[in-house]
Amino acid sequence: MKPFVSLLCFVACASCAVVDHDVTNQPVAANLSGKCFVTQQTLYLVNTRELSISDGAGACPHGDSALFGLFKCGFKLNGTVPAGTEIIVTKVTDEAMGESGRCWNVQGRFKDARLSPSEIDIPSCNFHSFSKSWLNNWIPTVTYQTGEKLEFTSDAVRPCDSSSAP
């Protein structure tokens, strides 16, 4: 019976590494969830729905311009997001990244649904974002250890004025 219990414990623990955890309504995401943020510079909407900062920082090397870097790395440009655009954070997930560990995934929507009617990915995980993470910490285990709440530290966005909240 002991080997069966050990196997069951191993399977239960291993499955934790591949399960995503929605933390949208948890205290760790309180500074982001449901909050409005306004873009401070022109951003790119790349691939299917990912925001990217204009300097092209991220996983791919770039040439003379960020736009060149996007095309060189195989990213599809779906449009630009002008400075002053309001974004509402809709979901925060502690996402399993397989053998790489875990990572935060932050999603939002434009307050003006005409820009993109679907959810957008806000740079939060250095494993799969073109841009560097906009978060104070992109690794969940470190965030939990320090007890900090997630917040954006990128100059790309700042909190909306209270008059422009959702």
Domains of the chain by residue range: 20-164
pLDDT at 74: 60
If the chain, 166 residues long, is cut into consecutive pieces of 10 residues, what is the mean pLDDT of each piece? Answer: 47 60 97 97 85 58 48 67 95 92 95 84 83 92 95 95 60
Compute the distance between CA of residue 105 and CA of residue 121 in angstroms, rounded to an integer: 8
Radius of gyration of the chain (CA): 18
pLDDT at 17: 57
Q: Is the dihedral of CA 24, 129, 98, 150 positive or negative?
A: negative
Residues paired with residue 43 on neighbouring β-strands, in sequence order: 81
Question: 2: which residues sit within 8 A by CB, 6+ positions away?
Answer: none
Compute the distance between CA of residue 132 and CA of residue 70 in angstroms, rounded to an integer: 14
pLDDT at 73: 59
pLDDT at 4: 46
Compute the distance between CA of residue 33 and CA of residue 108 in angstroms, rounded to an integer: 9
> What string of DSSP letters covers 98-129?
GGG-EEEEEEEEESSTTT-SS-EEES--TTT-
Compute the distance between CA of residue 155 and CA of residue 141 in angstroms, rounded to an integer: 24
pLDDT at 7: 41
